[in-house]
Structure 1
Amino acid sequence: MNTTARTIDYKGETCIELISGDYRALIAPFNGSNIMKMENTALDIDIFRNDPSLTPAQLKAAAEIYGMPTLYLPNRLSHGNLRTSDAMYHFPCNDPLGNHLHGFLHLRNHSIESVSVDGDKAIGKTSYVYDEKDEFFTTYPVSFRADFTFTLAPDGMHYEFTLTNLSDKQMPYGVCNHVAFKGPFTSTGKGEDVRLCVPVGDKWELDEHAIPTEKNLPITDYDLQYKNGTMVPVLKDIDNDLYTAEMNELDGKPFYGVYATDVATGKKVCYEVDDTMKFWIMWNDHGDKGYFCPEPMSWNIDAPNLSGAPEITGYTELAPGESKTVKERIFTMA
């Protein structure tokens, strides 16, 4: 079995290439440790939206809509306000609706810690230390370390993301993966044949600024398309469908995640997430660009500023010196 892990040049930047079994993946430390490409060559499945014609600068300018970026913090903060148990921070408003959007970790150039092979596993590790050397530190003076481990094995990509609070302050803990899945994800597939299954619970109402009103909406036949796996996630506009996460089922077994199926071939892309992820938000950039984003979030949109209890909003913090790790897996089936 072919298993390799190495660094390669990508148009002047260094990437990590991992190969294990039928899988090949490219990790872009220069673009926030983004999984910029992952494919199962035997099944002709290309999982994430990617474009080999783009330069590193172009990828960095569109970091949220290619590959699998990791966001700290998730989604929006109303008016840029971030309220913690011991401070109030004011982030710049960078979306048209008057909020702060997506944080900054995915926009940084991360460091490669190691590249190695362990049996049939190809492993890449990256990191980023956020401190006073970062241009954003005057806005948000809470130092931390982010560590990523990407382990490609014959059963898919095992992803680990650890945040460690290096400061003497309480650190808000909210993470999200802004995954951009291709639709279709095979070379001969059609968008109308893609179906998405998401284990949706309560549906959250959003106001005109895409901030939760903290009210739940009735579940409709539209929402049930996610739950029963009949939602076509492209070719129509899906704009911030927000739900509390529940347990899914895959091949008759409990599965905490989502999966997309090409109904013409039965091929699947599966995304299993950590139970830290309490919410799913769906978005597809108007649905006409061949990709869709089922995004798991550990806290609700604007959680630091919502009035609900933490067990409802997902808001939590890391104490000084505390760490937390999220573990996920991306794999394919036929």
Structure 2
Amino acid sequence: MNTTETSDSWEADYQGERAIYLRFGSSEAVMLPEIGGNLIAFRDHERGFHFLHEPSPDEMESFKARPMIHGIPVLFPPNRYEDGRFAWNGETLQLPVNEEATGNHLHGFLYNTPWVVDEYGHSRKESHVSISITIDEDHPVYQLFPFRFSITLRYSLSSDGLMQHVRIRNHGTTCMPCLLAFHTSINAPFTADGSARDYRLKLTIGDRWELDERMLPTTHFQPLVPEEEQMRDSGVYPFFAEMDNHYTSVSQNGRNRMELQDTKSGMTLIYDVGTSYKQWMIWNNGAEEGFFCPEPQINLVNAPNLDLQIAEAGLFSIAPGEIWEETSRLYLRQTT
């Protein structure tokens, strides 16, 4: 692909929902602003590759009811919080307990909240869309998370793949916790005629956190099994066992990323996330072939409630007027 290829952007329907489409050469991406700002599709039409797990037409209703395992949902705050509460700035925040089995709050409140389309467009070098959500006293989320802030997401499609730029600005008068992750759902296989058995997953993990019966960290680590060591070092079949695991991230060669190699085609999908993401969650749908979720996460699960050093828990704040931002990229590389 080169920079002279056709670039385009437009608004259209996606299975009955408003969508913004991006096109660059043979690549296409689809954004659903009103379903949590979910980047629901990333495709290469020329090769027949579908990189993200998209809902089929008969899955749309269940997807809208719980848009977790398709596309790139925004989790804020991410993952589980014990009894739905945590302390911050001397006050206790109470989130709804929405996971009955564990008695925890799960995955925050932005993955199904409508976002605003700020603009979309295209040039010779890329197509792009920017969306945002602003939380203040007039927004329902403020009752759960009483901070004034905005989040802006910009996705751009170019010869360098799909780039995500996320920016959080604190508009309030007190420090706010920066708690964010993306429940990215990756197809394996991503080729039309591929087999998951031909795929090898590599992830820049460090230690695996021990989780209790409520899926909350105990603050202790567990030894990696041999397949997890392969996942860290050389690559492993993504469905070798059921995974709903939480790991520290340890950059390799200056990069914090997932690599998914299709050994048959010789193509590797790279999900290069920023080093601000100090944790990885990985969930593989009960080891059922088809898709899995490598989730870059800033903070440890239940971080504000744990007796850990701030850096170890990935827990940091954004001061009044400050901006935090990070970029990630999905792209293909020929490896054999």
Normalised-by-shorter TM-score class = over 0.9
> Once the 2 structures are TM-superposed, how far is the Cα of residue 289 of structure 1 from its aligned partner?
5.6
Corresponding residue of 2:8: 4
Match of 2:63 among 54, 59, 63: 59
Corresponding residue of 2:118: 113
Task: Give per-residue Cα distances to partners, 1:108-161, cap 9 Å, x unaligned.
Answer: 111111111122200101111122333332222212111111111111011011
Corresponding residue of 1:303: 303
> Once the 2 structures are TM-superposed, how far is the Cα of residue 52 of structure 1 from its aligned partner?
4.0
TM (norm. structure 2) is 0.93
What do you get for the CA RMSD once the two structures are aligned? 1.7
Report 1:166-315 matches (<5 A).
166-234=171-239, 236-239=241-244, 241-248=245-252, 254-288=254-288, 290-315=290-315
Match of 2:24 among 20, 23, 30: 20
Structure 1 unmatched runs, 5+? none
Task: Give per-residue Cα distances to partners, 1:244-268, cap 9 Å, x unaligned.
Answer: 111235xxxx432111111222221
Task: Give per-residue Cα distances to partners, 1:188-223, cap 9 Å, x unaligned.
Answer: 011222211011112211111111111112233132
TM (norm. structure 1) is 0.93
* SS in structure 1 of the partner of residue 282 of structure 2: strand
For 1:75, give the aligned amino acid. Answer: N
Task: Give per-residue Cα distances to partners, 1:38-68, cap 9 Å, x unaligned.
Answer: 0122332211001241576543223110001
For 1:291, give the aligned amino acid. Answer: F
Contact map agreement 2:196 2:289 (CA 8 A) in 1: no
Task: Give per-residue Cα distances to partners, 1:290-334, cap 9 Å, x unaligned.
Answer: 110111111111111111111110111112222211211011123
For 1:88, give the aligned amino acid. Answer: T
Report whether the alignment pairs 1:92 with 2:96. yes
Please, which moves more after superposition, 301-310 or 85-94? 85-94
> Once the 2 structures are TM-superposed, how far is the Cα of residue 171 of structure 1 from its aligned partner?
1.1
Corresponding residue of 1:320: 320
* SS in structure 2 of the partner of residue 107 of structure 1: coil
Percentage of identical aligned residues: 27
Corresponding residue of 1:42: 46
For 1:18, give the aligned amino acid. Answer: L
Match of 2:33 among 5, 29, 32: 29
Please, which moves more after superposition, 49-58 or 188-197? 49-58
**1 CA distance for matches of 2:136 and 2:61?**
24
Q: Alpha carbons of 1:205 and 1:235: their partners in 2 closer, same or farther (altered >3 Å)?
A: closer
User: Which consecutive aligned stretches of 4+ in structure 1 deviate over 6 angstroms post-superposition?
Assistant: none
